[in-house]
Structure 1
Amino acid sequence: MSKGQGFGFGLGKMKELTDAIKKAQQVQEGAKKLQEELEQMEIEGEAGGGLVKVILSGNQEPLRVEIAPQLLTEGAEVLSDLVGAAMKDAYRKSTDTMRVRMEELTSGLGLPGM
């Protein structure tokens, strides 16, 4: 180790490290806020022209299923198919929402791979 060089970190490297730490803190704070927001969201998937609705939280936690009364006479197979389709719709919408919100969180931070 040469005199005055410390551990090989120049001032430029220290600034880069400080900037990286600040970005990581921003992402961590944003992720915590986003997690809280997602918990409060209700994302609705539907099938059968709205006769079946599945509602998930933004974190994909099932909240409730709504089935139109007139659909109950259609039989178990039809009902099962529509509930499954509504679940897939809600899941797709929730993953799209999470992806968009994460992109918003990380945009402008210059994080590699984001």
Structure 2
Amino acid sequence: MAGKGFGPLGKMKELADAFKKAQEVQAGAQQLQNELEQMEIEGTSEDGLVKVVMSGNQEPRRVEISPDAMSQGAEALSVSVTAAMTSAYEQSTELMRGRMEELTSGLNLPGM
């Protein structure tokens, strides 16, 4: 009986297919890493007075603070900067998660 998954040859084919898919995912992950490094994700405070820009890899790029934000005082400015950082971080995390799910969809490893 030579059906899919029966006997040693069927298992070897399954393993070879899984290995090939894993190599494709690895190459895709490297490409995604390069894309994320080039990306800019903006997070803003609720009032729009502070903007934080980071890469898709969550590396800080710059912070833009409006003069109106400066006039609100140190404590309010701190809250605005933190909110903008959180916004950028959440966006980048969601983007990475979504892209990795796309990349690994269909990856069925035997025994997993």
Deviation of 1:110 (Å):
3.3
Structure-2-length-normalised TM-score = 0.87
Letter in 2 for 1:56: M
Map residues 80-99 of structure 1 onto 2, 5 A cutoff. Answer: 80-99=78-97
How many correspondences in the alignment? Answer: 104
SS in 1 for 2:71: helix
RMSD value over aligned CA atoms?
1.5
- Runs (5+) with no aligned partner, structure 1: 1-8
Instruction: Decide whether aligned partners of structure 1 residues 69 and 95 sit closer, same or farther in structure 2, where only a CA change above 3 A counts.
Output: same
Which has the higher mean CA deviation after the structures are superposed, 42-51 or 55-64? 42-51
Matched, 1:58 2:81: no
Match of 1:49 in 2: 47
Instruction: Decide whether aligned partners of structure 1 residues 73 and 16 sit closer, same or farther in structure 2, where only a CA change above 3 A counts.
Output: same
SS in 1 for 2:58: coil
Moved over 2 A (4+): 108-112
Is the contact made by 2:18 and 2:108 (CA closer than 8 Å) also made in structure 1?
Answer: no
Identical-pair percentage: 67
- Runs (5+) with no aligned partner, structure 2: 1-6
Structure-1-length-normalised TM-score = 0.85
* Bigger relative contact order (CA 8 A; separation at least 6): 2
Match of 2:15 in 1: 17
State the structure with more CA Rg: 1
